Structure 1
Amino acid sequence: MRSIKQPGAPVAERIQWVEARGRAFTFTLQAGVPLLEAARRGFAAEGFAGGVLNFGRGALGPFGYVMPALSKTGENAAFYSDTYRPQGITRTKLGSMTLGSRAGAPFFHCHGLWTEADGKASGGHMLPDETIVVEPFEVAAFGIDAAMFTAEPDPETNFKLFGPVAAASTGARTTSRVFALRLRPNQDFASCLEEFCRAHGIARAKIHGGVGSTIGARFTHGGVTEPFATELAITAGAIAPGAFGALESALDVALIDYTGGIAEGRLIRGGNPVLMTMELVIEVLG
């Protein structure tokens, strides 16, 4: 399987995880508000300090983002491009967000695909401090209680990355047992989720959110993304018994690579290693 050498030594625990409680809900992002604050308000209205969300068509402007890029210094296995700030209104196609905390304040990690006002199709990593909601749009959210994605230095990748940590309960109403996860580099995306579920006695689960990167991509429809640096959003995901009874992950994703190539589809099992990180929430269904 493909792998990329990271600047730091691998951490022994390859999945960072916290068991928690959670609940799915929808809300509408308010217009005229920074995307970060609009997301924070939506979760707070339901009693949550953080969680994950997925969205489809929306409108942003002003808007700032970066794409994956090669590292210029060698201090990281890959890096970010310079900031893009397209003029006019950018229309999102899809995206996934992790809402957590950085330096004690709300922060998000958000990847998606969109079309800019001039018709350019693009995607990447949205910048919290440069992105404004210009028209209201609805999102599908999943709040988590007793866990928080918190940005901390990661010696392996030499980035500050979101990872789940235990947190005080906010008393939010919850309906489900959940696990907040961060997958570390150079392990197959699907396989490690299946192994995690087996180890925790989970027979069936739904994935909420999903923000991260894979080393290129291999899809069940036969498509291949060769450039190794990507920014990826999960659009739908589940883990359930396959035809022969063993757990199988179904992971539908959308991504952009560092050359600007865009791809969507279901990832093959056993052929899509994590590049830097993968953040998601697993809702236990059985």
Structure 2
Amino acid sequence: MGRVAYARIAPNEDLVQGVEKLCLAEGFRHAFVRGGLGSLIDASLGLRDGGYQQVAGPAVEVVSIAGEVRSGPDGAPVAALAGIVADTQGNVYGGPFLAGWNPVCVTFEVTLEEWLPDTETAA
């Protein structure tokens, strides 16, 4: 394992793309998302059949979040995040967050832990 970063994603910024941006800024080629705290304007979660589920806000609370970031073929960070959210009526939903469809409401605090694959630590 490598460094740990605690960071904030700004309002209206996409959750998934925000995590990718943070990894780029910190120089993390690979990372684990260890936790987060915040809410989304609306949430879009993937379904097993390939579709998606829209959870209407405003202020959809993220109850839990986990995931990882890996370098894509072009070297850019690509995040795969999943979580549990609750809508304004207290209904709970879960699944993978869809990139570009999960705008942060006020702020979102996230903890990232750098992962150093064996091939990188040997160099």
Whether TM-score is above 0.5 comes out as: yes
Partner of 1:202: 28
Flag the structure with higher helix content.
2
Displacement of 1:268 in angstroms is: 0.4
Asked if structure 1 preserves the Cα contact closer than 8 Å seen for 2:24 and 2:76, the reply is no
Partner of 1:249: 79
Task: Work out whether 1:239 is the aligned partner of 2:65.
Answer: no
* AA aligned opposite 1:205: A
Say which SS state the counterpart of residue 3 (structure 2) adopts.
strand
Alpha-carbon distance between aligned partners in 2 of 1:282 and 1:265, rounded to the nearest angstrom:
20
Of all paired residues, the percent bearing the same amino acid is 32
- Aligned-residue CA RMSD in angstroms? 1.8
Say which SS state the counterpart of residue 190 (structure 1) adopts.
helix
Displacement of 1:235 in angstroms is: 3.5
Alpha-carbon distance between aligned partners in 1 of 2:58 and 2:110, rounded to the nearest angstrom:
21
Matches for 1:51-70 after TM superposition, within 5 Å: none
Asked if structure 1 preserves the Cα contact closer than 8 Å seen for 2:7 and 2:22, the reply is no
* 5+ residue gaps, structure 1: 1-174
Displacement of 1:245 in angstroms is: 4.5
Alpha-carbon distance between aligned partners in 2 of 1:260 and 1:284, rounded to the nearest angstrom:
33
Displacement of 1:244 in angstroms is: 5.7
Task: Work out whether 1:186 is the aligned partner of 2:12.
Answer: yes
Partner of 1:228: 58
State TM-score, norm by structure 1. 0.37
Say which SS state the counterpart of residue 199 (structure 1) adopts.
helix
Alpha-carbon distance between aligned partners in 2 of 1:181 and 1:246, rounded to the nearest angstrom:
19
Partner of 1:281: 111
Asked if structure 1 preserves the Cα contact closer than 8 Å seen for 2:42 and 2:57, the reply is yes
* Cα deviation digits, residues 186-238 of structure 1 (max 9, x gap): 10111121122122321000111211111111112211102322111333211
* Cα deviation digits, residues 117-175 of structure 1 (max 9, x gap): xxxxxxxxxxxxxxxxxxxxxxxxxxxxxxxxxxxxxxxxxxxxxxxxxxxxxxxxxx6
State TM-score, norm by structure 2. 0.80
Alpha-carbon distance between aligned partners in 2 of 1:211 and 1:201, rounded to the nearest angstrom:
22
Alpha-carbon distance between aligned partners in 1 of 2:59 and 2:72, rounded to the nearest angstrom:
30
* 5+ residue gaps, structure 2: 117-123
* Cα deviation digits, residues 3-48 of structure 1 (max 9, x gap): xxxxxxxxxxxxxxxxxxxxxxxxxxxxxxxxxxxxxxxxxxxxxx
Displacement of 1:263 in angstroms is: 0.9
Partner of 1:214: 40
Alpha-carbon distance between aligned partners in 2 of 1:233 and 1:181, rounded to the nearest angstrom:
18
Alpha-carbon distance between aligned partners in 2 of 1:232 and 1:195, rounded to the nearest angstrom:
20
Corresponding pairs, count: 112
Partner of 2:93: 263
Asked if structure 2 preserves the Cα contact closer than 8 Å seen for 1:227 and 1:259, the reply is no
Displacement of 1:279 in angstroms is: 1.6
Rg (Cα) greater in structure = 1
